[in-house]
Structure 1
Amino acid sequence: MPKQRSADPRTRIIDVASTLLSEEGRAGVTTRRVAELAGVQAPVIYRLFGDKDGLLDAVAEHVMADFAATKSAAVAGSATRGVDPVAGLRAGWDMTIGFGLANPELFVLINDPARGPSPSTEAGIRILADRVHQVAMAGRLRVSEAEAVELIHAAGTGAVLAILRRPESERDTGPADVLYEGLCQRILTASDSTGRAPADPVIAPAVTLRAAVSDLAVLSPAERAMLGEWLERIIAQG
Structure 2
Amino acid sequence: MTLTTKDRLVRAAAELLREGGREALSTRAVSAAAGVQAPTLYRIFGDKDGLLDAVATYGFKSYLEGKHALGETDDPVGDLRRGWDLHVEFGLQQPAFYMLMYGEPRVREARREADAILRRIVGRIAEAGRLRVPVEQAAQLVHATGMGVILSFLASPPDQRDPDLIVAAREHVIAAITTDSADEASDIPSRAIALKAALEKEPGDVLTPAEHAMLAEWLDRLAR
TM-score range for the pair, normalised by the shorter chain length = 0.7 to 0.9
TM-score w.r.t. length of structure 1 = 0.77
What is the aligned counterpart of 2:194 among 201, 204, 208? 208
Separation of aligned partners in 2, 1:52 and 1:110? 15
1:176-195 to 2 correspondence within 5 Å? 176-191=166-181
Aligned to 1:94: 85
Aligned in 2, Cα 1:166/1:53: closer, same or farther, shift over 3 Å? farther
Aligned to 2:69: 74
Q: Structure 1 residue 86: deviation in Å?
A: 0.6
**What are structure 2's unaligned runs of at least 5 residues?**
none
Query: Identity of paired residues, percent?
Result: 38
Separation of aligned partners in 2, 1:120 and 1:35? 23
Give the paired residue count. Answer: 221
Aligned in 2, Cα 1:134/1:10: closer, same or farther, shift over 3 Å? same
Separation of aligned partners in 2, 1:161 and 1:98? 12
Separation of aligned partners in 2, 1:25 and 1:102? 14
What is the aligned counterpart of 1:9 among 5, 10, 27? 5
Separation of aligned partners in 2, 1:29 and 1:59? 10
8 Å CA contact 2:53, 2:109 repeated in 1: no
Separation of aligned partners in 1, 2:192 and 2:94? 39
Aligned to 1:220: 207
Aligned to 2:129: 139
Classify the secondary structure of the residue corresponding to 2:103. coil
Opposite residue 235 of structure 1, the aligned amino acid is A
Q: Structure 1 residue 19: deviation in Å?
A: 2.9
Q: Structure 1 residue 138: deviation in Å?
A: 1.2
Aligned to 1:118: 108
Offset from partner CA, 1:73-103 (integer Å, 9 cap, x none): 236x31xxx3411111111111111110111
1:25-64 to 2 correspondence within 5 Å? 25-26=21-22, 34-35=30-31, 38-41=34-37, 44-45=40-41, 47-49=43-45, 55-64=51-60
TM-score w.r.t. length of structure 2 = 0.81
Offset from partner CA, 1:192-238 (integer Å, 9 cap, x none): 9xxxxx556222222111211242537323554443332221111xx
**What are structure 1's unaligned runs of at least 5 residues?**
193-197
Aligned in 2, Cα 1:17/1:174: closer, same or farther, shift over 3 Å? farther
My pick for the range that moved more, 165-174 or 31-40, is 31-40
Separation of aligned partners in 1, 2:219 and 2:26? 53
Separation of aligned partners in 1, 2:13 and 2:66? 21
